[in-house]
């Protein structure tokens, strides 16, 4: 089982004991990219469960043991992912930064090209099929992103029971992209339910939530065309 699935069990324990989860964000995943002219760049993968920090402190030891192993942090498996990334060809400067007592973790690295980036993303976001996915590819000046089952399977983990409020819980789980390019963004093609902001001509900030992802597993796919 993917390590983040074990962390989601921790969220579900809190959800069963607190309606606060239904009106506040409980999980945010971010993918932050920069792409240079030569196709190289950097990526930061963020798992943010900071909104659960105060509620986690209210759980007694018995509840903690039910939701996660004693030696686990709130976000599991990051050290193993970092070790796997360091072994990949075309991946350098791998770093792990923990904040908010481990409730926010940032894994960052530089990549040589999209092939190296795809190898890294398969380590960060594997799905149950075990198939290596080409997340990104260039079609001329258009960057194309297609996804595996990673996000959908996380949503199913959260929505696996019939507990009241599961729909609201999915809406409280957010997924965000940011992209920074060396050229101006000319056009974007996004799924319904994905919001877009453009702080400047070369940067995009995209966001959605798991209620959208569960309705449309391809909601995280996208096409970004740059000026030639």
Helix (H, G, I), strand (E, B) or coil at 145: strand
What residues of the chain score a pLDDT lower than 70? 1-25, 54-74, 159-165
State the pLDDT at residue 90: 98
Q: What is the pTM of this model?
A: 0.83
């Amino acid at each position: 089982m993917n390590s983040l699935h074990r962390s989601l069990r921790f969220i579900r324990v809190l959800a069963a004991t607190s309606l606060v989860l239904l009106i506040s964000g409980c999980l945010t995943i971010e993918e932050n990219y920069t792409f240079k002219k030569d196709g190289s760049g950097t990526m930061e993968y963020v798992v943010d469960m900071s909104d659960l920090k105060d509620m986690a402190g209210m759980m007694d030891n018995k509840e903690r043991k039910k939701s996660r192993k004693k030696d686990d942090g709130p976000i599991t498996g990051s050290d193993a992912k970092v070790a796997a990334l360091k072994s990949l060809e075309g991946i350098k400067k791998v770093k792990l930064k923990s904040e908010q007592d481990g409730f926010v973790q940032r894994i960052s690295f530089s990549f040589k090209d999209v092939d190296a980036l795809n190898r890294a993303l398969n380590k960060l976001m594997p799905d149950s099929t075990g198939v290596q996915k080409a997340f990104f590819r260039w079609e001329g000046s258009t960057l194309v992103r297609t996804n595996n089952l990673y996000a959908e399977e996380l949503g199913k983990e959260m929505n696996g029971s019939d507990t009241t409020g599961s729909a609201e819980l999915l809406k409280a789980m957010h997924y965000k992209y940011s992209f920074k390019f060396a050229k101006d963004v000319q056009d974007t093609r996004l799924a319904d339910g994905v919001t877009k902001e453009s702080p400047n001509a070369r940067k995009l900030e995209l966001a959605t939530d798991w209620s959208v992802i569960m309705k449309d597993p391809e909601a995280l796919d996208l096409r970004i065309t740059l000026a030639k």
